[in-house]
Structure 1
Amino acid sequence: MATIFTGCSNDDDEDGSGAKTPAVGEITGNISSNVTYAYGNYTLKGMVKIQSGVTVTFEPGCTITADKSTGENGLIVLNGGKLIANGTAAEPIVFTEKSKVPGSWAGIIMYGDAPIVNSASNPAPQTATSEDGTGSIYGGSNATHNGGSLKYVRVEYAGQVITTNSKEHNGFSFYSVGSGTVLENLVSYMGNDDGFEFYGGTVSAKNLISYGNKDDSFDWQDGWRGQDNTNWYAYQVGTGNYGMEIESKSVDNNFWPKIVGITLKRAAGTVTEAQSEIQLDAIQFKKEGNGDYSNIVIDGYKNQTGSTPWNGGAIQVLDKTTYDHQVAGGKIKLTNVKVTNTDNDFISGAATFTLSSSSFNPTSNWNKTTTATGASLVSGNWSTVNGVNLIQ
């Protein structure tokens, strides 16, 4: 059995007050049959896997707590499985960790078989091996893959990194997840790696908050191509790298993701994860990353001083190939952009090219303004931790 329960369901009312009595229990092992977790408090133990053909449902208000002292913990939705976690603004579903230390567990990992692109020469459908340490294969041709529905879900203190690039986790990791999956009003809070990472796929996401994550707030690769993304908000504090890191495994794609309504903010005094690396820009494009982004607010990406000074800026292009194919080729669109409290609009990652507003072709691919509003989010319990509203 994957679950052991004690306590009562939310239908019980032991004291006659009308308040729901939370269930309690442990979630562990492979989940091989459909199950609904009633409103309550649960312990997550081990790398729990929702098997193909299985639907797991959490009711609004559930709190699921991992404990790093028990080993590696996380919730994995395998391809063909479904996670239905539909909270509300008042009763979010919260996945957290007992010690409240960033990087203490693996977060939520979802697999699908939507298309990815990581090679210019291989025929579709392409596949790749995950970097979460499970050695799982992801990718396929099912653009409408459906991994379930996540609404008003918060993941706290995740982003466990065991071996860099071969066994590391984020708050939310979406491997070739398809457009049939619903992702709305999600929070990744105080993780040790990326807040949200998309490994290819066609899924879109609305109303995202990435707060205090130590690597990138938002990251993707493998030709992710979500087309209906709105209201992405990032606040970097203490330690953080890029607001958005955009790459496509060095494949010059003719498609791109689209995001409308982006706010990327960096608190004063925030430093990069590794002081020796230039990773303090709001948006970085590399390895043929591209996309269509509009209504963007960028604030606080200042130059870094100290033992290893670096220039900070709104937009960085790391390599000349990305500059030649994506910037000059008109595949990077940044329109209605408001930049404040930031030392440079543009940063070139190599001495072989100069990035400026005139680099974009046509000129309508870059438009700076003072009227952009960025992400538009409504605060509530879902966006509040320890009494602090995450929307700064």
Structure 2
Amino acid sequence: MRKVFFAIAIATSIFTGCSSDDDAPIVKTPVVGEISGNLTANKTFAYGNYTLKGMVKIQSGVTITFEKGSTITADKTNGETGLIVLNGGKLIAEGTADEPIVFTEKSKVAGSWAGIIMYGDAPIVNSASAPAPQTATSEDGLGLPYGGSNATHNGGSLKYVRVEYAGQVITTNSKEHNGFSFYSVGSGTTLENLVSYKGNDDGFEFYGGTVSGKNLISYGNSDDSFDWQDGWRGQDNTNWFAYQTGVANYGMEVESKSVNNAFWPKVTNITLKRAAGTTTEAQGEIQLDAIQFKSQGNGDYSNIVIDGYKSQTTPTAFMGGAIQIKDAVTYNDQVVAGKIKLTNVTITNTDNLFIAGVGTITVNAASFPGTNWGPTTTATGANLTAGKWCTVDGVNLLANK
């Protein structure tokens, strides 16, 4: 009998030990490598720490995948650096809330690299007279065409991706970059849980196209948090959070290259906040508005929280406000004609409700027909869940939401 119990005890010890070993966490060792040049063949970059060198281009027909938890670091001492997805190429970067994929820069200085640039052939509109499909040339210095008729263009899938310290501006309006730049990207592309952190230009910019973005954070970017043109018409956008601090312009800059389109983008659940003491870039226009509409920009926006857009007295005096309509044409064709809808809007700590960018128009609640203007005290804004995907150097980016 003693031998039986002894044998059972040994067996139990063996199986307990095996179970303990099996339950131990598996520690992955990150791969270390460099990414440069033209990427001409499908490749998966395993979990690791990579150096990005130069303007790396994913060629048409090529799919590049990054495993979750990877960090890709640019170095401004190597010159102009960015990751470009050419039309027909695909970038699959799918992190998780706890294991995001981070694109950053070694010096941690805003404006040090070009960020992520994606090209497609979805529709754009930048001329009232030219027939469809229309095209344009990129303003990122690459001089590449964008635009087309492929509304469902698929440039890949970006989930739980953070871009840091991008927004490199080399020549204003002809060679400048954002955190994320989407040139005529189509609705087949997935953009979810993305962070653009402390760049020197816009956080997110859409150059036409039909793509939509869900759960987007633009934090500490020096120009506009969200910006678009060329008739961007994404319809499934939700949970956008902008926090402007230090130097910044608009929360959302909305324009359409002076084309009076019959369509518009739609965004629900928006929070736009500006920290006290934030000043504008040195430009000769009013730069303190949460949302600016100009050049026939329009759209349907709902459940909006706006806070902190105060007037600025130094170094240059500017009016601060919630909504600016910059030009008379946009006022007549978009506001009065009912193509700008702002509903369920809560505004706090902001000096002016409406601002007219030119002296020939007066903007007020009566300017918006029907129910297109809907102030409230109960808007909730962006609904986002904290995690490592939106935590930088131990700081939760949602703490100010």
Range into which the TM-score falls when normalised by the shorter chain: over 0.9
Q: Which residue of 1 aligns with 2:335?
A: 327
Partner letter of residue 266 of structure 2? K
Answer yes or no: is the 8 Å Cα contact 1:66–1:96 preserved in 2.
yes
Answer yes or no: is the 8 Å Cα contact 1:275–1:308 preserved in 2.
no
CA, structure 1 residues 69+224, in 2 after alignment: closer, same or farther (shift >3 Å)? Answer: same
Q: Which residue of 2 aligns with 1:119?
A: 127
Partner of residue 388 from structure 1, selected from 391, 395, 398: 395
Partner of residue 359 from structure 2, selected from 334, 351, 358: 351
Answer yes or no: is the 8 Å Cα contact 1:276–1:308 preserved in 2.
no
What does residue range 1-392 of structure 1 map to in structure 2 within 5 Å?
18-274=26-282, 276-362=284-370, 364-391=371-398, 392=400
Query: 1: CA distance between counterparts of 2:210 and 2:287?
Result: 27
Task: Give the Å deviation of 1:310.
Answer: 1.1
Task: Give the Å deviation of 1:276.
Answer: 4.3
TM-score by length of 2: 0.93
Partner letter of residue 254 of structure 2? I
Partner letter of residue 189 of structure 1? Y
Partner letter of residue 374 of structure 1? G
Structure 2 gap ranges (5+): 1-23
Question: What CA deviation, in whole Å up to 9, does each residue of 1:285-307 have, x standing for no partner?
Answer: 00000000000000000000124
Q: Secondary structure at the match of 2:281?
A: coil
- Tell me the matched-pair count: 376
Q: Secondary structure at the match of 1:287?
A: coil
Task: Give the Å deviation of 1:226.
Answer: 0.1
Q: Secondary structure at the match of 1:45?
A: strand
Partner letter of residue 267 of structure 2? I
Q: Which residue of 2 aligns with 1:9?
A: none
Q: Secondary structure at the match of 2:68?
A: coil
Q: Secondary structure at the match of 1:180?
A: coil
Answer yes or no: is the 8 Å Cα contact 1:175–1:199 preserved in 2.
yes
Q: Secondary structure at the match of 2:332?
A: helix
CA, structure 1 residues 307+20, in 2 after alignment: closer, same or farther (shift >3 Å)? Answer: closer
Question: What CA deviation, in whole Å up to 9, does each residue of 1:252-306 have, x standing for no partner?
Answer: 0010000000000000000001164311100000000000000000000000012
Task: Give the Å deviation of 1:17.
Answer: 6.4
Structure 1 gap ranges (5+): 1-15
Task: Give the Å deviation of 1:361.
Answer: 1.4
Q: Secondary structure at the match of 1:113?
A: coil
TM-score by length of 1: 0.95
For the pair shown, the structure with the greater C-alpha radius of gyration is 2
RMSD: 0.8
Q: Which has the higher helix share?
A: 2
Q: Secondary structure at the match of 1:282?
A: strand
Partner letter of residue 194 of structure 1? D
Query: 1: CA distance between counterparts of 2:311 and 2:25?
Result: 56
- Which stretches of structure 1, 4 residues or more, deviate above 2 A after TM superposition? none
Stretch of structure 1 that moved more, 304-313 or 119-128: 304-313
CA, structure 1 residues 358+131, in 2 after alignment: closer, same or farther (shift >3 Å)? Answer: same
Task: Give the Å deviation of 1:194.
Answer: 0.1
CA, structure 1 residues 131+310, in 2 after alignment: closer, same or farther (shift >3 Å)? Answer: same
Question: What CA deviation, in whole Å up to 9, does each residue of 1:171-221 have, x standing for no partner?
Answer: 000000000000000000000000000000000000000000000000000
Q: Secondary structure at the match of 1:207?
A: strand
Answer yes or no: is the 8 Å Cα contact 1:169–1:193 preserved in 2.
yes
Query: 2: CA distance between counterparts of 1:55 and 1:276?
Result: 43
Answer yes or no: is the 8 Å Cα contact 1:106–1:159 preserved in 2.
yes
Query: 2: CA distance between counterparts of 1:334 and 1:318?
Result: 16
Query: 2: CA distance between counterparts of 1:89 and 1:28?
Result: 28
Query: 2: CA distance between counterparts of 1:306 and 1:31?
Result: 48
